[in-house]
Chain A
Amino acid sequence: MSAEPKPKIGVFKFASCDGCQLSLLAAEDELLTVAGKIDIAYFLEATSHIDAGPYDIALVEGSITTPSDALRIRDIRQRSKYLITIGACATAGGIQALRNWADHDEFVRAVYARPEYIETLATSTPIAEHVPVDFELRGCPINRHQLVEVIVSLVAGRRPKTPSHSVCLDCKRRGTVCITVAQGVPCLGPVTQSGCGAICPAYDRGCYGCFGPAKQCNTGSLSQQLLADGTPAPELVQLLRNYNGYAPEFRYESERLAGLNSEVIS
């Protein structure tokens, strides 16, 4: 029956670059088809039509960095059947989570002449630290095919299928020669979740972990190898602390290495 109401989708932004929600508009081939199957109820970047909900699916981009956003995400959760986080900011705090290891007030003073106009939290935290999340889509940015898969499967009432193996495996499948073994370049491929297509090693550089930790990744074993290969500990700390640096597996390892660093490096 065509009279069945289309599922309502809302797209919400917190602290982020807009790139993940743009992935929806970047799915040029699928956009008009997918748009025909859903009711885009709230998507400020794409449409002036605003529907207050409730929503069947809320796609949430960005991390929580202000007191008002910490309240706003609770309100969105209450009005949504499924809440899906999209991208590294929403699932791990994003690059702006570097403030979590820094003096936040000093950071604000360094950027703004009038810090008193700025109201932010001292941390940038993932959505799941604030409200229950039904599904997390990784990536900085997310993979638009995975986004379409998530929307299509939720509309069809099945669980989205996204791979959870590591980038390392994708390099083998692509036939990319291992950049760590062959050239000694530090690479997070063994501990990073698949989804990007293993592009960095294919372009002659190491993976920097933008899809976050893979399932059951052994970060300790990787850093042991990279340290033995001659990568200094402070460099490894930085490699782990970028777009997904606050994801638990990367965070614990970088903090362990930072601790080692203060003892070992003189």
Chain B
Amino acid sequence: MTQERLIKVEALTRVEGEGGLFVRLVGDRIEDVQLTIFEPPRLFEALLRGRKLEEVPDITARICGICPVAYQMSSVHALEAALGIEITEDIRRLRRLLYCGEWIESHALHVHLLHAPDFLGYDSGIDMAKDFPNEVNRGLRLKKHGNQLLEVLGGRAIHPINVAVGGFYRAPRRDELTPLIPDFEWGLQAAVETTRWLATLNFPDFTRAYDMVSLVHPDEYPMNEGRVTSTTGAAWDVRDYEREFHEEHVAHSTALQSSRGERQACYHVGPLARVNLNRERLSPTARRIADEIGFETPCQNPFRAIVARGMEIIHAYEEALDILRTYRPPTIARIKYEHRAGEGCAATEAPRGLIYHRYEVDAAGLVTFAKIVPPTSQNQRQIEDDLRDYLPRILTDDDVATTRKCEQLVRCYDPCISCSTHFLKLTVQRDG
């Protein structure tokens, strides 16, 4: 007799935004896996139309309180492409510095408060702190450094106010930035300790033949620019992104789902994709620690993304230190420009992975069209695909354990459902 079993997570916890998970099994056969996203739509692409293009980095920041800089960076680069603005090397470095702050803050939050509790069996980072006070306190300090950098350079940590089309409203003075250096020197060593600790966690034995996608830049670890590149070897100019990558609207999600190519295959974006495609461009300390802990690339175990995040925290500290130590305020903080009708797109690397923006603007400087593809919509189909593969290995567990393991896998992607639109609920249905 065939038994039906449903596994449900009504509300996924320790992810940003609201969603759930629904799995339906008949006997051992998986009939359906849905990452349900019920975050209420806020319709940003519609409400941006008619707004001044100068407001776009402020408005798109509000898509996500955890990674506002990713939205600001992607939107200013896309608008600068539309207006034909070339930014200076000084502005470019300051933008990388800002992104370093966001990577540190976002990764430190995810690693310590959201994901490590899964590996060590706690409900939250706050509970975990009772037994791992050093690790959690160190993590909170790292997160604070990221926020401090965002505060000095961006004006505040959540929804920074200093990012402008063409550069910054005001470049920080040297005496505003240099006081951060001692903390960042400590933080670099602390990030090394964190990554060594993360490498000792127990990782489920689960690997997949992923198609991973990230930006690749010849000279640097990717943040603000590069070619969109797949681990299959294919690469595209950002302007061809929409020809290769497609969005689809499915009934169980208020986030659009992305897929790649004619086969509409799923793909994986995020820290693991970046490390796999750019290992040799990690900072020297990050590379040394990758060797020391024996992090083999390409790494196809999604659970090890937490270690990739650790290595990216090291990288962000080391690159930030380099910029902070050599900083001289640029003579021009913001490039002047004239309004003109045009279209421009850009892709950058948010903490959670590749993010793509495209805008059309008119001669009066108003937005007439906006398209935004956040990392989590790109990972959504991949997450469902992973679960389909992972579930048969854990179905002998009871529902509570199965559910926990599913959630742990979902959290490997650090899903940001506010970005893609709400939170994860796992619903495992086992009828019989």
Interface residues of A (CB under 8 A from B): 13-23, 25-26, 28-29, 31-32, 35, 40, 44-50, 65-66, 69, 94-96, 98-99, 102, 106-108, 110-114, 117-118, 120, 124, 140-141, 196-197, 199-200, 202-205, 208, 210, 235, 238, 242-243
Contacts and interface: CB of A to CB of B under 8 A. Distances in A.
A45 B13 contact: yes
A255 B214 CA distance: 45
A99 B170 CA distance: 32
Contacts of A196: 156
Nearest to A235: B52
B46 A111 contact: yes
B125 interface: yes
B157 A26 contact: yes
B423 A44 contact: yes
A65 B59 CA distance: 18
B129 interface: yes
Contacts of B127: 47, 49
Contact of A25 (B40, B43, B109, B170): B109
A66 B16 contact: no
Given A49-B124, A94-B42, A114-B251, 11 more contacts: A13-B18, A28-B147, A31-B140, A50-B11, A108-B41, A110-B43, A113-B248, A120-B40, A141-B156, A196-B156, A199-B155
B155 A203 contact: yes
A49 B109 CA distance: 18
A95, A110, A197 interface centre (most CB from chain B within 10 Å): A95
Nearest to A124: B42
Interface residues of B, number: 66
5 contacts: A19-B68, A26-B157, A46-B125, A95-B44, A203-B170
A197 B51 CA distance: 26
Contacts of B423: 13, 44
B39, B40, B416 interface centre (most CB from chain A within 10 Å): B40
Interface in B11-64: 11-18, 39-47, 49, 51-52, 55, 58-59, 62-64
Contacts of B13: 44-48, 50
Nearest to A200: B161
Given A17-B418, A35-B126, A44-B18, A94 B62 contact: yes
Interface string B105-125: 000010001100100000111
